[in-house]
Every structure is written in structure tokens, then in C-alpha cells.
Structure 1
Amino acid sequence: MRRDLPTGTVTFLFTDIEGSTRLLHDLGPDEYADALAEHRRVLREAFASHEGVEIDTQGDAFFVAFPTAPAAAAAARAANAALASGPVRVRVGLHTGAPTVAHEGYVGVDVHRGARVAALAHGGQIVVSHATAALLDGHPLVDLGLHRLKDFDQAARLSQLGSGEFPPLRTPGSIELPTPATRFLGRERELFDAVSLVYERDPRVLTIIGPGGTGKTRFAIELARLHAEDAEGGTVFVPLAPLRDPRLVLTAIAERLGASAAEATAIASRIGEKRTHVVVDNVEHLLPAAAGPLAEIAAATSALRLLTTSREALRIQGEHEFDLPPLAETEAVSFFLERARAVRVDVRPTQAVSDLCARLDRLPLALELAAARTKLLAPEALLERLGDRLDLLKGTRDADERHATLRATIAWSHDLLDPDEQSLFMRLAVFRGSCTLETAEIVCDADLDTLASLLDKSLVRRREGQLGEERFWMLETIREFAAERLEAADDAADARRRHAERMLSIAQEAGLSGDDPAAFHIEIGLAEREDLRGALDWAAEHDVELGLELMIALENFWVASSPLEGMRRVGELLDRAGSIPTALRANALRVYGGTSDLAGEREHAERVSAESLKLYRLLEDDRGAAAVLHRLAVSAWRREDWERVRELTEEGLDRSRGRFVEIEISGYWLLGQLRLTEGDVAGAIELTRQSAGMARDIGWKWWESGQLHELLMLALRSGDVDAAEREGRAALRLERAQENRLWSVYTLAGLAQAALVRGDVERGGLLWGAADEEASRLPSWDGERAKRGGALVHEEDPHFIAATNRGRDLDLWDAAAIALGEDDQTVP
């Protein structure tokens, strides 16, 4: 643990250069590097003179901690004053909190809040949180009002330190890029060339090309970070290395962007007119099939820019290729020295280091693997030992000598492992994505010391997962090498089976089957998705029954995240299945029907569900039958076949009442819908409230939020505006917490109707404009707009129309904050 870090109440300072990409383009790589170095010198001098402790740097951004808020404020003002005469302008954010001190720095919500505050500032501007402003008596502060910070529900009051004139605070697009564990080194010339290409030609698709180990991914992340300021629609990273099916490329991109479907039109609708950058990493193994979907989305919207990495070009219209060469000689030496000094501080820039870098073709990954070995071997010894392996390459006719060099380096590093390390290295290749320590122990018999040794040798990486857990993974080039060893081993089948069985266990523990909705943890499924897919792919070829069991355990995961993929997978497994147990077939058909319904194949879904129901009745399985009866009742509800709805719902309730609570809860909603068709609004409200209350009692928040929305609309129908607003706000809070954009749109539209009934045309227009703009990206909105908007669609009051137009510029969650009364000062 670092002993120099301030503890207790700490003020964080975050900086970032404004317009760094344009600055690089205008100054050129050499002058830009000088300006960047001077900027770092000036900032570090200002921080140090006010007791600041540098925590981290990423690119041209600083993260610094101060023991007091006045010291941080003084340092920020001194830094800006010192930069005033140069070309660099930095945005600065300050926030004060009581963070937790961890091994390498600080952790906690205050770190993220400080970074979000800085992101809103302009170059030369210092923005401070309310917590910091309260500690700055006597400092010149300008109240900037309430503003929403990304990833925080509540609006935050912000102030400006100093009296300078600046435009309104920025609303930057989100930047969702990986955070590498080490800093970016070198590549100034290549970055300048790539930045210039983007500014001068603005290609729809830019492909970074090079062999494995060249640093394509790291370069693409840095290039995307530099250009993120131009992407008002956001910047996202889509890794394709874990995928094996080119049909999932659009699915992966759609999910990262929050599109309503894995289709080019849906992705284009989600993006709208806001420029959006998508980094698509590791395309080569999915070519040529993946080129078509990428070309389709590139052509579907002029606002999208694709930055792809691949060992070969996509060869699609609009693509520009950028060949990434090895590091320059001085860059390679600097890179090797920095990595080597992390494990051995006395490594010096000798001739042996230069010769070693040259022998390794100045490939970053090869240099990193060699540097990891300097803990035991000096560069001179490394050169001698590794040189023997590289000499074997002389005279070969490998298609790419750089690739051969890298393979030889990986093989050499592998050969130095002891037998236990080699065995674990090989077995870890079974994971397509990443794994926790517990999973590595179960699937691979991993020993903590052996795993730590592979980490030390840079053959395995470590990162924080989506749930805050520690996960282990391999670079794709290294995993390919390990996978070759695994497939040649006698126990490869055992490793694959243990992996599939572990994925089944994880799915069951996460409650993803739908049998217990309160235990449903989709976030666990999302964290393991690539390995769930890998297990299913293996099972389809080697154990269909295990594959079907896994699909059943994942039923609600597919329903919630990717019904089309779920439908395809369970259908293919059923096609391969011969004679299987009746219960297994009934459950699999239930999954097939549910996923088909949500994938839009509703006639097929009804046929399959009816077949499933027949088998459940044969088995006298009341739970299974009740679940399918509910789904068939919903299908009848869509067709407005009310007698069939009643028949199926009542049978389902007879089987489930007092026994299968989640199915019973769903049935009360359908009974409420039947009451509504009879004109009994009060009866519909009573049954819907019963459904919502029972869902709340068992923690089924997803269903509860939907029922609260239904109560909002029923209250509007009965003329009770107070109840409508109360139920609508409760629904919206749950929907926002679950990031359920679709249902939030519907609820905002309902709350807009309530505001219009009250005569608050300003509020009604703002909420309707935001909802209508968000929903316009949905393929089904044209058919639903009149139903969801009601009187809003035909309202002609000029104040309402003006507010609606302003609402269209609001982010969905900003509009939600207005609807909840949290963000009044940011209403345009």
C-alpha cells in the first residue's frame, strides 16, 4: 500500500487536455510531443508545490490527490496560469470525499465522481463539486446549477472556480474504452499519421492492420481516446476475439450501443445524427463473413465511424487501411526498459538491449514477454538464449517473418515454464473470454502460486470484471498458442467438458432459468457470456443433452439479452437431439417458444409452446404447464382473443396459485386486462396492484416496474392524475435503476400525458419530446406512437410544441431526472 497518499478527507483533481487530437494534427508529432512534455512539467510542478500526490496518468490526463481543498484549488489555478502562454489548455475538475485507500491508490465512488466533474469542463476552466466548494471560503466561485453526472442518478450542484467566461458546461459523449494497466509509449509518428488521415479524409471505416503482437489494440484504443471529443454520441469498444460466429458481430455492436435489435437499421436508429465511434477489435478470425455486416452498418448511417483492428483488411466500401509497423528503434528500447524495470530496477540501456529489441523485430508483445524474464536473466543472457530459438527462423518462408518471430518468442517463453505452469497455461485456453480464480480452480485445477507465476511472465493478464471481481484472461495471440497445445493434449475433451459443466453451474447459481425471478442475476450471465457461448458450441458437437440443459438454465438470460440468438441455438440443439428424456424436451421447447416469441416469430412460437404444453400435461408437470399456459395467454391477448385469454389464464392460475408465485403474479395482470375490456377500470387497477405488490414482496423488480407503469396508465384512464404521477415516478425509478430504456420511454410518455392534463404544457412537452426522440429509434414506434402518446400526439399549443422541440435535445436520463423532480435547474 502506498504510504504517501493523503487519508481521511481528500480532494481529488482531474485534468485532461482540450482538443488534443486537433493539437497533434496542427503541431505535428515532434512539436506536439514537446508541448505535451512541457504541459506535464508545468502541472507536476504546480501539484508538487501544493502537496499534491500524483496517483495516475492516462495519456495526457492527470489524477492527483490533495490533503485539503484549498491546496487543490491553488494548484489548479497555478497550473492554468502557467499554461496560459502555451498552446495547451486543460479542463480541470475538483471533488472532495473520504475514499478508501487500496493497494495501488484510491477506490470508491468519489474517484468516479471527480472524473465525471472534470469531463464537463472546458479548456482553462476549473469546475468543482458542491463538497469541494463548501470548503473554499474566500475563493471566487460561480454557481453553475444542477447537472447530471454520467453513471450517477442524482443531479449534482457544480461551481466554477474563478470568474472566467465559458460556454455552458459540456455534454460529452460517453467514453467506454478499456483502461490499459500500463501507459502508452511511443507511436507519436503513427498517431500523427492516423489523426491526419481521420481529419483530412474522415473515413467511415479505418482498419489498423498488422500481425499479432504489433500493438494494434493498444494503438486503436489510444487513437479512439484522442478522437473521443469529436464523438458526441459516444465511443465504445467491441472485442470480437471471443466470438466464433460471424452472425454475432451485429449482436455485439448492437448491445454495446443499446440498439433495440441486432440489425443495421436498429443500430442506425439508435445512433441517430450524433457522431459515434465504435472500436471493433480482432476481426480477422471472422473474415470474410464479418465484412458484410460491418459494411452494412457503415452504410446505414453517416454518423457512425468504425475503427477496426485486423491482421488483414476487411475489403469493404469506405474502408481506409492503416498499416501499423513495429516500434521505432528508440521506442522499442524505451518500451523494453520500462517493462523490464517493473520487475528488475537495475536494467540499463546497453547494446545487448538494443540487439535484443532488433532480434525481436521491435514487436511490443515479444518485447513484453522477454522483459518479464529479466527478473531472472540479464538482457545479455536473454539475447543468447532467445537468439538460439530465433536463429531457427532464418531461411524460412513464413508468410510474415514478424509473425514467426512472435510465435518463436511465445514458444520460448512457454518452454521455460515448469510442467505445472505449462499444464495450467494450456488449460486456461479453454476460456474464450476470462475467468475468476474460483472458476480457474474448478475447471483447470489452478494453483494460486502457479497462476501468479503466469501473471508475472505476462502470459496471463488480470483485470477487474463488470461486477468488481478479479478476472484472468489471455491476449488472443497467446491464447491461440495455448489452444493449439490444448487440442493436441490427451485431456482436451476433459477440459472442455469441465468448462461446460462449470458454465451450467454458474447459470444455475445465477437464477437465469426463470424458475425464481427474484434470484435472476443477468449481470452474472453477461460477465460470462463468451464462455457460455463457448460451452454451448462445444456441447452442440459433443453432448447435446448437456447443451440443452445449459440452454434451459439460461432461458431468461436469452429472453432478456438476445432472444434471436437463443432461438437459433436451442433450435439447432433440438435438431441434433435424438431420443432425449421427455422432461428435457418439454423444457427445451418452452425455451424455444419463449425466445421465438420475442424474436418476432410468433406463429412458430405458439406451435412450439403448444407442443411443450402437451408434454408437460403428459408429465403432470404443473409448473411447466402453468408457465406455458401464461405465454399462450399473452399470445391470445395480442390477438384480442379474450375468451382464449380467460381460458388459458384461469387454467394457469389454478395450477400455480399458492405454489408457483411468479406465474401467479403474471396471471393477475392478465385478469386485470380482461377486466379492462369489460369496462371495469377499478377492477383492473385492483388486480394490477395485486400483481405489483406480490412482485415487490419477492423482489421481482423488473415485473414490478412494468405493473407500476400499467397503474400509471390505468390512473390516467380513471382521471386520477395524482395517482398517475405517483405510480409513474415509482415505475421510472425502478426502470432507471435497471437501465431499462424501452420501458422508461413508455413511462415518460405517460407522465407527459399527466402533465398535460394538469395544464403544465412546458413539462409535458419536455418529457414527450425526450420520449418521442428516444423511441423514434425503435422499428415498432410508428405503430405504437399514437397509443403511447395519446393526446400528446395532436396537441397544438405553441408553448407545448416549443418545449417538445427542446425536449428532443435532452438525454433520456436527464429527462427522467426532470420527471422525478431532481433536475429542475437544468430544464432548458
Structure 2
Amino acid sequence: MTDFRSHRIPGHLPLRPHALVGREPLLLTASRLLRDRRVRLLTLRGPGGIGKTRLALEIAYRLSPEFERGAVWVNLAELRDPSEVAPAVAQALGVPSEDSTDLLTRLGPGSLLLVLDNFEHLAPAASDVAALTAGAPNLRVLVTSRTALHVRGEQEFPVGPLPLPAPNEPLLASPAVQLFVTCAQTVDPHFCLTAANEPAVTRICRLLDGIPLALELAAARLRVVPPDGLLSWLERPLEVLADGPSDGPHHGHSLRSTIGWSVDLLTAEQREVFAACGVFLGGFTLPALEAVTGKERTREALIGLVEHSLVQTAEGPEPRWRLLEPVREYAAELFGSLTETERLRERHARYYLTLAEQFHQTAPAYDEAWSGRLRADDANLTAALRWAVEAQRTLLALRLVRALGPYWDHDATQKHHEWLGQVLALPDVSDEPALLADALCALGVTSRNLQQYGEARQALQQAGDLYRQLDDAAGEANVLLILASVYSGAGEHEPALELFRRVEVIFQGMNHKRRLSEVANNLGVTYLRLGQLPDAFRCFERTEALSSELNSEEGLAFARGLLSWSAYLQGHKHIALPLALLAWEHMLRVPNALLRYVLLHQMAFHARDAGQLDLAARMVGCSDAMRISTGEPWDVCFAPFVKTLDAALRTAMGERYLECRTEGSTLRLEDLAPEVEAMLGHVLHASPAPEPLHPLTGRELDVLRLLVRGIPDKRIAQHLDISAATVSKHVSSMLGKLGVHNRVELARWALEHGLSGSSAS
């Protein structure tokens, strides 16, 4: 048998600089591809600093023994002309001439792995590489490049950043953190993760988007600054992440030079579009980029930027792209140097104003698709508003802050409040009285939610005066409704009740059912504050009925959650539990921060009562973390009970309470949802309501169990495989048999008799 080891090509592999971290899945896949005889050319494609060279080196070391003539490494970084590629390959192979015939002859029948590192700036030489792979059937070529070679038979292999820390996993499970720690230990062998530096290390890895070169350069800065200090320095990463290895390629000495190497390869039009990308935060869509650039060929330029690995695809409700954060900073620097910067910023702001106003038109109906679009562009919306304020574009700022109100809602009360203050301080706000009135009204709401009642009254007084001058009766009535809730929150219940009754008459005259639902809800909360629980329950029943008429799932979620709480406080758990589960199901479909943290805390009482103390403590932690993120204090009708539950769990659990509560504060509501639903289902199953005596048929019960969950007739019909008309007949029959007047009373009867029909029960 021939010993091919004695006939190895004289090329050699560079030394491995350090252990390769976090790339095992990529190594396995790339190795599998190169073992496939159908794959002749594999291109590791990715942005600068992403670790393509290091990955290729590890692949070469791993596969070299499997090739009869081993692996040959050719570093192309220092070459300047595509015509130099063939001579460089010939030299590595020990061929005296770069003639293609001589090269193919020298390669012979033995298998060989040829690695071409840093190919992106030598694109015209791709045809030479293709000719080699075509003429030498046992040759495998592995290329590292920021762009694809675009030749037949090429297999592209995208290389992305290292995975970042995932929630609820040990920090060292993240390859990005592993690499940072490994590199830090080359600077200081005693460096290790501690409770003190873990938050800073996590944030550093996230800020640098898991880019290996950026992590290595950042770790090297630990020679002069600890992680907390480094974190603050990384507000401008391109200034900090320099002085890389002197024995590496010239474009790897700093993060700036690495990115600049790619930018230099762009066409003039691509560079202009790349600079425009610097105005975006958190990513962008193609329509947004086109609106900012104003160029007809923006899509073609975007394709080129993706080809050069400067722009990455991103997740979102529609096609979306982003720049890794250090690349975005480079683009932002280029953007700042443009002569038309302000004009492009205004285009950016106006695009996102249009997006926000389109969402605003859907309010008050909840639209998950629109909400998702705005969530994806939250950073851009904030940047647009910041520019409008700083540039003193008062009209644009007033319109934008109004449009964002329904989107922010309770999820960002403190943020909304601060922006309103800045916008209202702009010059010439009085020139837009209608927009000014809306902004003052919104300030009244956020001030109320933050329990800043003095500021709320002042803002609402001004808003009411403006609405009166504008002859806007609906706006004036809405101010009175909010003002009544301010009185109630401040403990002035009698004037609050009087004002609620006055406003109720106004909205009845307007037949404004949504506002009437809000009046009933606020009245119920006022009665909760007064401890008048039966009166509160009746108000929330009215809210439930109106929300059902309006087909408002959010309204039903609030109404049934508060009905459940009122029943619980009165000791009527057989009513409270099924209502709680229904409210929970509604809430999961209509995200609202206030609804979520209040309802989750209420569920914690049921978990405590069921003896599931660890779960109750985690729920308390999760709920309070959500509440704190909004900036809102606990409402006075809940605050005493929150303190009571806290004290009871602390007494019952001791130190474990704080452990579980802290764990809960790191969880999302979605993480806890399965346990909460299982707990409610267990409690409902363990203490079912007595089987009611009733004249309903089995099919009527089937309809009732679905109706009580707020499912419309058409969906009930589909579920039961009957017609919608038949559903209506069953409902009419049940109303007559039970002597109730409407569907809400029918649902109430079902709940009181344990017929909620929830899947969790």
C-alpha cells in the first residue's frame, strides 16, 4: 500500500493561537461538507472579526490527516492584485510555475485540502479557483471571505457571532462569555467570573454582539481597567478596541481597521447606503432604508452590503436587516460626516412618525401585527423622537408623542412621562392647541399612574381648558373621567364618585360604550379602595357586559380579573377561581403590563392558598419586576394585600422566599405560565363546585362552556361542527330556561355553577 505521507506538499499550517471556543457545531457541519465528494469548494463567509480564519485553521488541523497529501494554507491578506493569487498558490504547493497545467500536474491524483484565507479583496481570481477545483477531482478548497466567490459548485457556509448568554442558563454556557474569559486569562491568569463582575461581563458580550475579535480586543483592555470600567468605555467601542496582535493581518490590528477593510471594498453607491444605515438603531426594513436614502437602487445596494457581510438579516414581523453593533458605530461615524445628515435624520423621523400614526389609527383595538412592528422598531421610534426634540421640530414631536401613547401604554409609563415633559417644554407648543391638549391629557394619565397627583391635576386642568376652547366635548369629558380617577387615587373618594356619575351621564348621552366601560371600571376600583366589595363587583360586572358588547378582549381581561379579585376578597373562591383562569387566558392574548403584573400577583394568592409556596414566591418576583420596569407604584387598592402576601411568604419560607423571589424576577411571564395554569387547574379540580341541577341539554352545555370563555358564535360553531344559527338558537334556549337576560348573565350563571369549561380544569 502506498504511503502518501511521504509525498506531502511542502505547504504547512499556521500554529493554533488558542483553543477554539464555541464553534463545535460549525466544525462538525463544515467537516461533513468537506468529506462529501460533491463539495469541491466551501466558502466560510462572514463579517470581519467573526473568526473565519480561526475556524478554517481548526478545520484544516482536524481534516488534514484524512487527506492523502494533507492540508496547505495560503494567506492572501497581503496580496493586492487578483493576478497574485495563482503564484501564491503555486508557491505554497512548491510548484516553480503558476501555470495552471503545471499546478494541476503537481496536484496529481492524491487528495489535498487547500485553504485560501482572506479572499474578499481578490474577487476576480475566483475563476482561477474554480478552474483548479474543476481540473483536480481530489482537491478540496476551503476559502475564508467576507463575500461569496460566486462560481459554480461553490458551497457557502455563513459564520455568525458566538452565541450570547441565554436567560436562566449558567453564564459560562455561553460561548461568547467563554471566549471573553479565556482571553482575559491570557492577560491575567487569575481572572475568573464572580458575582461582582458577571453583570458587566454579560453586558460587554452583548454590547459587542458576540464578535470574537471584539471580545478578544476587549479582554486585552483588562490590563488597564476592570470589567465595570471597560463597560463604560465601550460606549465608543471603535476607540477602545485597538492594538490587536502585531503578527496578524494589517486589517486585524483594530476593530476599526477590520470594518474599514470591508467598507473599502464597496462601490461609491454602496458606501452611501452603508452610511445611511448608521441612522438606524436596532435594525431596519427595506422601505425604511429607501425612505431615508431616497435612492432608486437602494435594494441593489443593500444586497451588496449583505454580500460583503456588513449587514445581517434579522428577525422581525417582516423582512428586516441589522448591523452588528461595532459595524453600526462605524456606519454612524460615516453618517455623521455626511453633508446631508440633518435631511436624512428628518426623513428617518418622518418615516417612523408615519408608522406610529398608522398604528395609532388602530387604537383602541388591539392589533398584534401592528404592535409587533412597532416593538421591532422601538429603538428607531425613540431615536426619531429624540431628534425631533433636540432639533426643536415641535409639530413633529407633538404628533409622534401622541401616536406613541397607545403603543407605550402601561408598558413604558415612566418613559412616556419623561418624553411628554420634554415635548411640552418645546417652543411654540401653543401654536398646536389640539395636539397640545392631547399631550397634556396624556401627561395627566402618566402622572396619575405614577401617583404624582398634583402634576396630574395641573396638566388635566390645562387640557380641559384647551378642549373647551376647541369645542371638543369628547376630549373635555375624557379629561373629567381621568380627573375623577385622580381624585380616587389620591383618596378623595366622594368628589371622585360625584364626578364619575357626572361623566357617566355625558357618555351615556354620546352612547360612547368604550368610555362607559372605563367609567364602570374606575368606579369599581374606587369601591375597592373604599372596601365596598359588593359595589365593586357590580361595577366590574357592568364593565364585563360592555366589554362583551364591544368585543374587547382587553376589557374582558381587566373586568374578569377584577371580578375574580373582588370575589376572592369576599371569600367566594368558587367564583374567583374560574374567573381568574378566564382572565388569565384573555391576558395571554392581549399583552398589557398593568394587567399582567396585577393578575400574576393575584394568582400568587391562589398558589399560596394551594400550598405551592415556591411558585407563589417566583410569581411575586416576576410580577414585581414587571411593575418596576414600568415605573409605576402599586395602586393603593392592591398595595396592602401585596405587603400582606410578602410578609406571609417570608414567614412561611424563611430565606428560601428571597431565593425564589429573586429567581422569579429573572423570569418572563411566559416562563411561569405553564406552572400557573397547572396550579389553577389543580385547585379547580381539587375543589369543584357542586354539580348544578339545571334543565340544559348536553349540547347546550357544550355551547355554554365555550361561550363563557369569550369565544364568538362562528368559532363555537366550527368547534362543535354546527352552524352559527344553531349556536344562537341554543343560546336563546338557555336564556329562556334559566331566566337570565343576556349572554353576560348566562356566563355568570355558568361560572357560579362551575361550568367555566376551561381546558386547565
Q: Name the TM-score class by shorter chain.
A: 0.5 to 0.7
User: Is 2:211 the partner of 1:218?
Assistant: yes
Q: Distance in 2 between matches of 1:645 and 1:604?
A: 17
| Residue 676 to residue 225, structure 1, CA distance change in 2 (3 Å) | same
Answer whether contact 2:242 2:253 (CA < 8 A) is retained: no
Instruction: Give 1:546's aligned amino acid.
Output: L
| Residue 615 to residue 517, structure 1, CA distance change in 2 (3 Å) | farther
Task: State which of 425, 446, 470 in structure 2 corresponds to 1:619.
Answer: 470
Task: State which of 289, 311, 322 in structure 2 corresponds to 1:461.
Answer: 311
Instruction: Give 1:507's aligned amino acid.
Output: A
Q: CA deviation at 1:724?
A: 0.7
Answer whether contact 2:365 2:552 (CA < 8 A) is retained: no
1:662 matched to which residue of 2? Answer: 514
2:61 matched to which residue of 1? Answer: none
1:199 matched to which residue of 2? Answer: 192
1:442 matched to which residue of 2? Answer: 291
Counterparts in 2 of 1:534-683, with a 5 A limit? 534-540=383-389, 541-578=391-428, 579-657=430-508, 660-673=512-525, 681-683=533-535
1:787 matched to which residue of 2? Answer: 641
| Residue 810 to residue 588, structure 1, CA distance change in 2 (3 Å) | closer
Answer whether contact 2:456 2:486 (CA < 8 A) is retained: no
Q: Deviations for 1:184-219, whole angstroms, at most 9, x for unmatched residues?
A: 9999973542684541887638989xxxxx989624
| Residue 281 to residue 365, structure 1, CA distance change in 2 (3 Å) | same
- Structure (1/2) with the larger strand percentage: 1
2:239 matched to which residue of 1? Answer: 311
Answer whether contact 2:444 2:455 (CA < 8 A) is retained: yes
Q: Distance in 1 between matches of 2:445 and 2:388?
A: 22
Task: State which of 220, 243, 260 in structure 2 corresponds to 1:325.
Answer: 243
Q: CA deviation at 1:41?
A: 6.6
Q: Deviations for 1:335-386, whole angstroms, at most 9, x for unmatched residues?
A: xxxxxxxxxxxxxxxxxxxxxx33x36445644664x6xxxxxxxxxxxxxx
| Residue 455 to residue 630, structure 1, CA distance change in 2 (3 Å) | same
Q: Distance in 2 between matches of 1:202 and 1:810?
A: 15
What SS does the corresponding residue of 1:586 show, helix, strand or coil?
helix
| Residue 698 to residue 193, structure 1, CA distance change in 2 (3 Å) | farther
Q: Deviations for 1:231-268, whole angstroms, at most 9, x for unmatched residues?
A: xxxxxxxxxxxxxxxxxxxxxxxxxxxxxxxxxxxxxx
Q: Distance in 2 between matches of 1:45 and 1:462?
A: 25
Q: CA deviation at 1:478?
A: 2.9
1:511 matched to which residue of 2? Answer: 360
Counterparts in 2 of 1:308-387, with a 5 A limit? 311-312=239-240, 325-327=243-245, 329=247, 332=248, 357-358=249-250, 360=251, 362-363=253-254, 366-367=257-258, 370=261
Instruction: Give 1:705's aligned amino acid.
Output: A
1:727 matched to which residue of 2? Answer: 579
Answer whether contact 1:512 1:521 (CA < 8 A) is retained: no
Q: CA deviation at 1:616?
A: 1.0
Task: State which of 539, 544, 549 in structure 2 corresponds to 1:687.
Answer: 539
1:145 matched to which residue of 2? Answer: none
Q: Distance in 2 between matches of 1:530 and 1:673?
A: 35
1:770 matched to which residue of 2? Answer: 618
- Structure (1/2) with the larger helix percentage: 2
Q: Distance in 2 between matches of 1:575 and 1:569?
A: 10
Q: Distance in 2 between matches of 1:39 and 1:466?
A: 25
1:502 matched to which residue of 2? Answer: 351
Q: Distance in 1 between matches of 2:404 and 2:200?
A: 35
Q: Deviations for 1:753-803, whole angstroms, at most 9, x for unmatched residues?
A: 4567xxx6523x3443334444666775798664236588558997x8899
| Residue 701 to residue 511, structure 1, CA distance change in 2 (3 Å) | farther
Q: Deviations for 1:10-60, whole angstroms, at most 9, x for unmatched residues?
A: xxxxxxxxxxxxxxxxxxx967459988996799789999xxxx9x99999
Q: Distance in 2 between matches of 1:463 and 1:476?
A: 14
Q: Distance in 2 between matches of 1:452 and 1:218?
A: 22
Answer whether contact 2:413 2:446 (CA < 8 A) is retained: yes
Amino-acid identity (%): 16
The structure with more radius of gyration: 2
| Residue 704 to residue 421, structure 1, CA distance change in 2 (3 Å) | same
What SS does the corresponding residue of 1:562 show, helix, strand or coil?
helix
Task: State which of 704, 707, 710 in structure 1 corresponds to 2:562.
Answer: 710
What SS does the corresponding residue of 1:471 show, helix, strand or coil?
strand
Instruction: Give 1:478's aligned amino acid.
Output: Y
Task: State which of 818, 823, 828 in structure 1 corresponds to 2:675.
Answer: 818
Instruction: Give 1:728's aligned amino acid.
Output: A
Counterparts in 2 of 1:724-763, with a 5 A limit? 724-736=576-588, 743-744=595-596, 746-754=598-606, 761-763=610-612
User: Is 2:332 the partner of 1:480?
Assistant: yes
2:169 matched to which residue of 1? Answer: 172
Deviates more, 1:439-448 or 1:740-749: 740-749
2:183 matched to which residue of 1? Answer: 190
Q: CA deviation at 1:464?
A: 1.5
Answer whether contact 2:213 2:255 (CA < 8 A) is retained: no
2:151 matched to which residue of 1? Answer: none
1:96 matched to which residue of 2? Answer: none
Counterparts in 2 of 1:410-449, with a 5 A limit? 410=263, 412-413=264-265, 416-417=267-268, 420-421=269-270, 423-446=272-295, 447=297, 448-449=299-300
Q: Distance in 2 between matches of 1:566 and 1:449?
A: 38
Deviates more, 1:529-538 or 1:602-611: 529-538
Instruction: Give 1:650's aligned amino acid.
Output: R
What SS does the corresponding residue of 1:463 show, helix, strand or coil?
strand
Counterparts in 2 of 1:100-249, with a 5 A limit? 172=169, 190=183, 192-193=185-186, 196=189, 198-199=191-192, 204=197, 218-219=211-212
| Residue 105 to residue 469, structure 1, CA distance change in 2 (3 Å) | farther
Unaligned runs of 5+ in 2: 1-15, 37-41, 56-154, 202-206, 220-226, 683-761
2:379 matched to which residue of 1? Answer: 530
Query: TM-score when scaled to structure 1?
Result: 0.52
The CA RMSD over aligned residues, in Å, is 5.4
Q: Distance in 1 between matches of 2:418 and 2:22?
A: 55
Answer whether contact 1:753 1:789 (CA < 8 A) is retained: no
Deviates more, 1:664-673 or 1:674-683: 674-683
Instruction: Give 2:388's aligned amino acid.
Output: A
Q: Deviations for 1:507-541, whole angstroms, at most 9, x for unmatched residues?
A: 01223895555679444333222222332233232
Answer whether contact 1:215 1:364 (CA < 8 A) is retained: no
Q: CA deviation at 1:580?
A: 0.7
Task: Kindly tell me the number of residue pairs found equivalent between the two proteins.
Answer: 525
Q: Distance in 2 between matches of 1:575 and 1:38?
A: 55
Q: CA deviation at 1:656?
A: 3.6
Answer whether contact 1:766 1:807 (CA < 8 A) is retained: yes
Q: Distance in 1 between matches of 2:229 and 2:365?
A: 37
What SS does the corresponding residue of 1:510 show, helix, strand or coil?
helix
Q: CA deviation at 1:551?
A: 1.0
Deviates more, 1:778-787 or 1:505-514: 778-787
Instruction: Give 2:459's aligned amino acid.
Output: V
Task: State which of 320, 323, 327 in structure 2 corresponds to 1:470.
Answer: 320
Q: Distance in 1 between matches of 2:537 and 2:458?
A: 32
Unaligned runs of 5+ in 1: 1-28, 63-102, 107-114, 120-149, 151-170, 209-213, 227-275, 286-308, 313-322, 333-356, 373-409
| Residue 440 to residue 283, structure 1, CA distance change in 2 (3 Å) | same
What SS does the corresponding residue of 2:486 show, helix, strand or coil?
helix
Q: CA deviation at 1:729?
A: 1.9
What SS does the corresponding residue of 1:820 show, helix, strand or coil?
helix
